[in-house]
């Protein structure tokens, strides 16, 4: 890996944990923030000239809060569906049952290594409810739906209103013509030492398949009417899910109609570094670093050797050392990759785009890079005007994909 392995969760035990949080919060407000204000006073001193001072402070603060989280374990916990199920009606919660027969091939083999079984998972619905006020109503004959996989570096995040992806679900429904609801799932998050190792690859992918199967075979959506989306690690998961559906040719589960990847994290080995790389150029204009310094990779790999972070195309589809096999990513539905020009992980997103184009042709892949924009902009209400530009580009792409499908049907 490009970065040296760093220590995580040094201050996880009480009372050290509480003391450290108080100390770090004080330093953040009393020392760091005034220092950032002074050192970024002039636009020319900022990571990007176009950035207002407030954005510099926001990005720096998120980066620091994530560092504190990964030092103390505050906020780092696995989502609890049982807990969520207790307020099912308010939050739009449903239980989703797995179908073990859907898991095969390389994914089944990896599941053995990490001792992962298909499991019942929680799901949370956004948008329109049924006439009785309940969620999970049967799909209309040609109803479209968004299937959103949240981010959080494989180790944090959840499907509820208190995580940023909920905002993205609301906004996607608002902007994309013809979509009235979205489903998120509580896919299993991975965990590694110093905590008990849990839910290594492909636990999350198996859960993503479970959720997709629910949409098609329980709620009744046609696969062509499903738009799979995901941001950050959720983008990598959305990509792996779609690839799995394409390649395993399951008789009961065709691939989705479209795929939207926002800032997909697709090189866990961090194989693009050095002068001119995005990890060097954009180190001060992004905040994702602590997701990528080792813990998340160890958690996701579980019992798999570290080498797999470099060579496994399911885990690092854009990695420089992943052996490229002909047609590796072929057969994918129309895909939009949306990246920010100020992202730490920009390079791997461009490689993912290039590999998709190689295997699917130029017309199948849309790429939007918003200038001077940090990670997962569509979850950030404060990142204007780029947030709105991003949603507008997303909406345009959605209409284009859907009108292309219509005219193809007409021609046939």
Residue whose CB is less far from ligand NAG, 68 or 103: 68
Residue whose CB is less far from ligand NAG, 11 or 163: 163
* Cross-sheet strand order for the sheet of 93-96: 93-96, 121-127, 179-185, 144-149, 226-231, 258-262, 335-340, 365-370
Could you tell me the smallest distance in angstroms from the CB atom of residue 136 to ligand NAG?
A: 19
Options 77-85, 177-185, 220-228, 379-387: segment touching ligand NAG (CB under 6 A) = 77-85
Residue 208 in contact with ligand NAG, rule: CB under 6 A: no
* 232 conformational bin, left if phi > 0, alpha if psi -120 to 50, beta if neither: left
Residue in 114, 160, 247, 271 binding ligand NAG, rule: CB under 6 A = 160
Residue in 79, 169, 173, 398 binding ligand NAG, rule: CB under 6 A = 79
Bridge partner list, 146: 182, 227
Could you tell me the smallest distance in angstroms from the CB atom of residue 157 to ligand NAG?
A: 7
Calpha distance 156→78 (Å, rounded): 7
Residue in 163, 287, 290, 397 binding ligand NAG, rule: CB under 6 A = 163
Could you tell me the smallest distance in angstroms from the CB atom of residue 107 to ligand NAG?
A: 26
Bridge partner list, 145: 226
Distant-in-sequence, close-in-space partners of 309: CB < 8 Å, separation ≥ 6: 1, 268, 269, 297, 301, 315, 316, 319
Residue in 72, 114, 158, 285 binding ligand NAG, rule: CB under 6 A = 158
Could you tell me the smallest distance in angstroms from the CB atom of residue 151 to ligand NAG?
A: 12
Tell me the site size for ligand NAG, rule CB under 6 A: 9
Residue whose CB is less far from ligand NAG, 80 or 384: 80
Beta strands at 121-127 and 179-185: parallel, antiparallel or unpaired: antiparallel
Calpha distance 20→161 (Å, rounded): 28
Calpha distance 7→304 (Å, rounded): 21
For the range 26-31, what are the long-range contacts, defined as Cβ-Cβ under 8 Å and sequence gap of 24 or more? Answer: 28/61, 28/64, 28/65, 28/68
Residue in 66, 68, 84, 398 binding ligand NAG, rule: CB under 6 A = 84
Q: Are 101 and 212 in contact (CB under 8 A)?
A: no
The CA-atom distances, in angstroms, between 229 and each of 73, 86, 226, 289 are 28, 27, 9, 23
Residue 244 is encoded by which pair of tokens? 């799995």
Residue in 43, 52, 75, 305 binding ligand NAG, rule: CB under 6 A = 75
Options 60-68, 157-165, 167-175, 398-406: segment touching ligand NAG (CB under 6 A) = 157-165
Residue that has been written with the tokens 């980066």 in this structure: 63
Residue 121 in contact with ligand NAG, rule: CB under 6 A: no
Could you tell me the smallest distance in angstroms from the CB atom of residue 153 to ligand NAG?
A: 12
Residue in 162, 251, 362, 411 binding ligand NAG, rule: CB under 6 A = 162
Options 36-44, 75-83, 92-100, 353-361: segment touching ligand NAG (CB under 6 A) = 75-83
Residue 90 is encoded by which pair of tokens? 């308010």
Could you tell me the smallest distance in angstroms from the CB atom of residue 176 to ligand NAG?
A: 25
Interface contacts to ligand NAG, rule CB under 6 A? 75, 79-80, 83-84, 158, 160, 162-163
């Amino acid at each position: 890996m490009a970065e040296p392995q760093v220590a995580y969760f040094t201050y996880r035990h009480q009372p050290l944990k509480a003391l450290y949080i108080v100390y770090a919060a004080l330093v953040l407000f009393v020392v760091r923030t005034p220092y950032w204000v002074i050192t970024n006073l002039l636009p020319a001193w900022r990571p990007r000239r176009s950035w207002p001072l407030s954005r510099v402070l926001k990005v720096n603060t998120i980066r620091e809060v994530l560092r504190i989280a990964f030092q103390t374990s505050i906020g780092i916990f696995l989502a609890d569906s049982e807990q969520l199920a207790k307020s099912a009606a308010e939050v739009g919660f449903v239980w989703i049952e797995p179908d073990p027969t859907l898991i095969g091939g390389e994914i089944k083999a990896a599941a053995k290594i990490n001792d992962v079984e298909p499991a019942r998972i929680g799901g949370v619905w956004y948008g329109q409810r049924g006439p009785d006020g309940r969620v999970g109503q049967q799909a209309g004959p040609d109803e479209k739906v968004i299937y959103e996989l949240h981010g959080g570096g494989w180790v944090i995040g959840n499907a509820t209103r208190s995580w940023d992806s909920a905002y993205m679900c609301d906004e996607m429904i608002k902007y994309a013509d013809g979509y009235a609801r979205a489903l998120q799932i509580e896919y299993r998050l991975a965990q590694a030492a110093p905590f008990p190792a849990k839910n290594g690859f492909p636990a999350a992918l198996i859960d993503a398949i479970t959720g997709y199967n629910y949409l098609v075979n329980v709620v009744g959506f046609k696969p062509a009417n499903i738009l799979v989306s995901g941001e950050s690690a959720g983008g990598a998961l959305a990509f792996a899910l779609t690839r799995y559906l394409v390649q395993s040719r399951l008789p009961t589960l065709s691939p989705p109609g479209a795929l939207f990847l926002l800032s997909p994290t697709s090189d866990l080995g961090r194989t693009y570094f050095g002068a001119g790389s995005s990890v060097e150029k954009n180190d001060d204009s992004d905040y994702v670093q602590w997701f990528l310094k080792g813990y998340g990779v160890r958690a996701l790999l579980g019992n798999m050797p570290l080498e797999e972070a470099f060579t496994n195309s399911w885990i690092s589809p854009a990695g420089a050392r992943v052996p490229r096999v002909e047609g590796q990513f072929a057969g994918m539905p129309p895909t939009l990759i949306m990246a920010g020009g100020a992202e730490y992980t920009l390079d791997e997103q461009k490689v993912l785009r290039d590999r998709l184009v190689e295997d699917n042709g130029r017309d199948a892949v849309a790429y939007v890079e918003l200038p001077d924009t940090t990670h997962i902009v569509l979850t950030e209400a404060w990142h204007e005007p780029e947030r709105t530009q991003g949603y507008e580009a997303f909406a345009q792409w959605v209409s284009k994909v859907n009108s292309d499908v219509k005219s193809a049907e007409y021609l046939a």
